[in-house]
Amino acid sequence: MRTIPVTVPFVDLTLQHEPIQPQIEQAIQTVIQRGDYVLGQALSEFEQAFATACGSQYGIGVASGTDAIALGLQACGIGEGDEVILPANTFVATLIGVLRTGAKPILVDCDPHTALIDLAAAEAAITVRTRAIVPVHLYGQMVSPTHLLQIAQRHGVLIFEDAAQAHLAEREGYRAGSIGIAAAFSFYPSKNLGALGDGGMLVTQDETISATMRALRNYGAPRKYFHTDLGTNSRLDTMQAAVLNVKLPHLAEWNYARYQVAQRYDALLRPLRFQGINPLQNQSNLGHVYHLYVIRISESCPVSREEIQHELGASGVQSGIHYPIPCHLQPAFRDLGYRVGDFPHAEALSQEILSLPMYPGLSEVHIDRITGILTALIANRLSFKVSA
């Protein structure tokens, strides 16, 4: 069998690093020379810079986005006996983070047009035990801040943002990370702002939560050898923070490049809407930071998602599915008691979504090629049907 060379990868991080590689190397050298590898100067600098960029006050760097959620919820006082509401269609780390606190996760369905948490369903799920809603700003688009704030106020529940896919996203005049009691970010390499390895951060405006979080990530010690909480070892490496300090000033420009890629996809895919292919809705214009570009291939489409993905692959174009199995149907979480049919929109989306290549620097030629493959595939199928 002939192997097809990858001509359009799903993400290309080298493109992003090449022009700033000398600065990255310099930043790493500085850390080596200073020797402050754990909780060092570059980390404090990055925590301050990133929190400010999010329109928040305190940043606490941790080892991953998952830890930012788990320890962050814990720092907000959430634990056993509490209920936490989150969407069924998120990356499992959101659910893992909630479960690690000991709280009971309450999953809800999503809006079929945006794939964001259905806030009417979230509000309906609130009980006397509900402590927090965890909106996931999925694919780079914020869940409506005004709607979230209304719900929080009406019911006295906390908003804890999972902003792992939404660095600098905006909506309705708010920025991701600034609307809740706290927000979790991930710096996994392929996120909009990525380290050269794992990393995460909690941002908050609350001084007490910030102090608790600082202790939790450092063995539960607010000061050396004095332990007030059952913490853990989860710090963002100084080395990674140094790299992120170099990358942060480019983030807005990279996000805009993503937006432009999305605009071109939108325009070129528009004619296919009559054949059942639709991008997920952008309800926040330039505020959508397009961590992923996701299309929906509905049942009315003459070509199946599997065929489309196969055809793209045969032409060297990588694509992905985020995510193929919603959280409530994952074997690991069977004990939560959910079943097929519980969240129809999330389940339908998992069968119909496809993520196309998306990264700053994805060329127009490549975008045209990808949309051209989709268009030709459908045109061929339609003419075949007519002649058959």
Output 40 or 61, the one with its CB closest to ligand PLP.
61
What is the number of alpha carbons within 13 Å of residue 139 lying toward its C-beta?
Answer: 29
Contact assessment for residue 179 and residue 158, using Cβ atoms and an 8 Å cutoff: no
Residue from 16, 56, 74, 94 in contact with ligand PLP (CB under 6 A): 94
Q: Which of residues 101-140 bind ligand PLP (CB under 6 A)?
A: 136
Residue from 31, 43, 164, 362 in contact with ligand PLP (CB under 6 A): 164
Number of residues that bind ligand PLP (CB under 6 A): 15
65 belongs to the binding site for ligand PLP (CB under 6 A): yes
Output 118 or 162, the one with its CB closest to ligand PLP.
162
Residue 316 Cβ vs ligand PLP, minimum distance, rounded to whole Å: 26
Output 163 or 181, the one with its CB closest to ligand PLP.
163
Output 197 or 279, the one with its CB closest to ligand PLP.
197
Helix (H, G, I), strand (E, B) or coil at 110: strand
The Cα–Cα gap between 310 and 24 comes to 37
DSSP β-ladder status, 83-87 and 130-133: parallel
Contact assessment for residue 190 and residue 140, using Cβ atoms and an 8 Å cutoff: no
Helix (H, G, I), strand (E, B) or coil at 293: strand
The Cα–Cα gap between 256 and 48 comes to 23
Contact assessment for residue 154 and residue 142, using Cβ atoms and an 8 Å cutoff: no
Site string for ligand PLP, 186-215 (x = CB under 6 A): x-x---------x-x---------------
Q: Which residue's C-beta sits nearest to ligand PLP?
A: 65
Output 119 or 277, the one with its CB closest to ligand PLP.
119
Cα–Cα nearest to 93, from 330, 292, 340, 341: 330
**Contact residues for ligand PLP, defined by CB under 6 A:** 64-66, 90-91, 93-94, 136, 162, 164-165, 186, 188, 198, 200
